[in-house]
């Protein structure tokens, strides 16, 4: 129990560090700070603008002259009411932005990327807490990605975005999230077993199982996730992602899309070759020979630790 608690604390600290680094990287790509955007668009009162200007001047002086340059003057902070005003200004800007934005490849790639990582972290944390397992549950041969969650995040975002425009009720959002999650699990599970004779999960042993890959309890979880995503995560995520405003952003997301496409392609090739090897079919191309050499059955078993293949089903 103590080990599990320590592990969760380590995970929480690691996530916090990653989030901090991600924010710094996003700033480097070209996104501005919340307060700066509010100031630029004149959404704050005179008092809030003055407090923000004081804080900005203090930071600039510290950056140029060092700690001694501020002469012991304490860092000016926005008061609680002024912070609330900044937050309201940011929410107002976010809602106006969401009314104008059109989803495109730029947002889809980043949402798939973030959803694949976040879903994997949540699943592995859930397995650690509930079953004490520290099992690798990745879904692609390269990187910490679970594409099931990535596709789920993209579909939930597209549907939630449309539901927001139509002012859908919470139960409509819940039911659509249930439908999306159940369909993803059914199609993914069936495809893996049918095409590659592989299985990453099964609910056949559960009393509330609907099919081998779908169970009522997890449909409920999908509905809750959909509600949270639609009401809290999706609006802020799309607002933070925004539209590409610098060449750095376009280049980065283009390279990310190419990498994820290659990752998915290579994963399918590896699973297909594993199925062929189990059937005694030799490699026919140089790519298949290279895959057999570098992505053997032992490597796949080590990488996809929750995967059951072939005769083990």
Tell me the three state secondary structure of residue 168. coil
Last residue of a domain, one of 55, 71, 100: 100
Quick one: three-class SS letters along the chain? CHHHHHHHHHHHHHHHHHHHHHHHHHHHHCCCCHHHHHHHCCCCCHHHHHHHHHHHHHHHHHHHHCHHHHCCCCCCCCCHHHHHHHHHHHHHHHHHHHHHCCCCHHHHHHHHHHHHHHHHHHHHHHHHHHHCCCCCCCCCCCCCCCHHHHHHHHHHHHHHHHHHHCCCCHHHHHHHHHHHHHHHHHHHHHHHHHHHCEECCCCCCCCCECCCCCEHHHHHHHHHHHHHHHHHHHHHHHHHHCCCCCHHHHHHHHHHHHHHHHHHHHHHHHHHHHHHHHCCCCCCCHHHHHHHHHCCHHHHHHHCCCCEEHHHC
Both 115 and 84 in one domain: the answer is no
> Structure pTM?
0.73
Q: Which of 53, 81, 100 is the last residue of a domain?
A: 100
Higher pLDDT, 27 or 102: 102
Give the pLDDT confidence score for residue 200 in this predicted structure: 81
In the prediction, which pLDDT does 260 show? 97
Q: What does the pLDDT read at residue 45?
A: 59
Which is nearest to 48 in space by CA: 77, 82, 76, 81?
82
Same domain, 87 and 199: no
The answer to whether residues 273 and 188 belong to one domain is yes
d(CA 139, CA 132): 20
Do 123 and 260 belong to one domain? Answer: yes
Say whether pLDDT at 68 is over 50: no
The reported pLDDT for the residue numbered 70 is 46
SS3 308: strand
Q: Where in the sequence is the domain holding 42, given as residue range(s)?
A: 33-100
The predicted-structure confidence for 29-62, as pLDDT tens digits, reads as follows 665 444 345 444 455 556 555 555 555 554 555 5
79 and 206 housed in the same domain: no
**Does the pLDDT of residue 239 top 70, yes or no?**
yes
Range of weakest confidence among 9-18, 98-107, 302-311: 9-18
Is the domain of 87 the same as that of 181? no
- 212 or 5: which leads in pLDDT: 212
Residue 38's pLDDT is what? 42
Predicted pLDDT at 95: 80
Residue ranges with strand state E in the chain: 198-199, 308-309
Q: What are phi and psi of 109, to 5 degrees?
A: -60, -45
For tokens 């995040």, the residue is 153
Residues 90 and 216 in one domain: no
| 82 and 226 within one domain | no
Helix (H, G, I), strand (E, B) or coil at 22: helix
**How far is C-alpha 254 from the chain's CA centre?**
17
Element at 32 (helix H, strand E)? none
Are residues 47 and 11 both part of a single domain? no
| Nearest in space to 26 (alpha carbons), one of 304, 292, 281, 252 | 252
What is the per-residue pLDDT across 192-234, written as a single tens digit (0 to 9) for each? 888 877 888 889 999 999 999 999 999 999 999 889 988 888 8
pLDDT at 238 over 50: yes
Q: What is the mean pLDDT of residues 258-286?
A: 92
pLDDT: which is higher, 76 or 13 = 13
Reported as a single tens digit per residue, the pLDDT across 76-131 is: 555 666 566 666 766 777 787 888 888 899 999 999 999 999 889 888 887 778 77
Predicted confidence (pLDDT) per residue in 129-159, tens digit: 877 777 788 989 999 999 989 998 999 899 8
Same-domain status, 306 and 198: yes
User: Final residue of a domain: which of 62, 85, 100?
Assistant: 100
User: In terms of domains, do 10 and 131 share one?
Assistant: no
Q: Is a pLDDT exceeding 90 seen at residue 24?
A: no
Q: Give me the number of domains the chain comprises.
A: 3
Q: Are 208 and 216 in contact (CB under 8 A)?
A: yes
Q: Which of 95-109, 234-248, 276-290 has the highest mean pLDDT?
A: 276-290
Same-domain status, 147 and 294? yes
* Best CA proximity match to 242, nearest among 75, 94, 65: 94
Residue of higher predicted confidence among 17 and 75: 17
Is the pLDDT at 7 greater than 70, yes or no? no
Phi, psi (deg, nearest 5) at residue 215: -135, 150
To the nearest 10 degrees (0 to 180), the angle between helices 105-131 and 247-278 is 50
Question: Is residue 158 left, alpha or beta, with left meaning phi > 0 and alpha meaning psi from -120 to 50?
Answer: alpha
Whether the pLDDT of residue 308 is over 70: the answer is yes
The pLDDT value recorded for residue 32 is: 41
d(CA 310, CA 57): 65
Q: Residue 52 has what pLDDT?
A: 57
Residue 270 above 90 pLDDT?
Answer: yes
- pLDDT of residue 67 exceeding 90: no
């Amino acid at each position: 129990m103590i080990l599990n608690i320590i592990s969760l604390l380590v995970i929480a600290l690691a996530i916090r560090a990653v989030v901090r680094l991600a924010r710094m990287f996003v700033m480097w790509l070209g996104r501005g700070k919340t307060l700066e955007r509010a100031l630029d668009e004149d959404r704050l009162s005179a008092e809030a603008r003055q407090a923000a200007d004081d804080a900005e001047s203090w930071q600039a002086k510290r950056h140029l002259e060092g700690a001694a340059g501020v002469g012991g003057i304490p860092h000016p902070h926005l008061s609680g009411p002024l912070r609330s005003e900044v937050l309201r200004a940011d929410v107002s800007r976010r809602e106006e932005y969401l009314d104008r934005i059109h989803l495109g490849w730029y947002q889809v790639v980043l949402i798939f990327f973030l959803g694949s990582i976040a879903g994997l972290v949540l699943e592995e944390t859930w397995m650690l807490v509930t079953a004490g397992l520290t099992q690798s549950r990745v879904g692609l041969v390269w990187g910490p990605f679970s594409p099931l969650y990535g596709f789920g995040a993209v579909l939930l975002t597209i549907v939630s975005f449309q539901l927001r425009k139509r002012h859908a009720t919470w139960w409509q959002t819940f039911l659509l999230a249930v439908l999306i999650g159940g369909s993803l699990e059914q199609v993914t599970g069936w495809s893996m077993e049918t095409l590659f004779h592989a299985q990453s999960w099964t609910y056949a042993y559960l009393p509330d199982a609907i099919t081998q890959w779908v169970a009522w309890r997890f449909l409920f979880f999908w509905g809750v996730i959909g509600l949270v995503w639609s009401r809290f995560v999706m609006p802020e995520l799309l607002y933070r992602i925004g539209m590409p405003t610098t060449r750095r952003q376009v280049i980065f997301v283009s390279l990310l899309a190419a990498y994820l496409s290659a990752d998915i392609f290579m994963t399918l090739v590896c699973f297909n070759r594993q199925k062929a090897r189990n059937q005694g079919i030799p490699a026919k191309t140089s790519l298949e020979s290279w895959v057999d050499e570098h992505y053997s059955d032992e490597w796949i078993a080590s990488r996809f630790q929750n995967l059951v293949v072939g005769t083990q089903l």
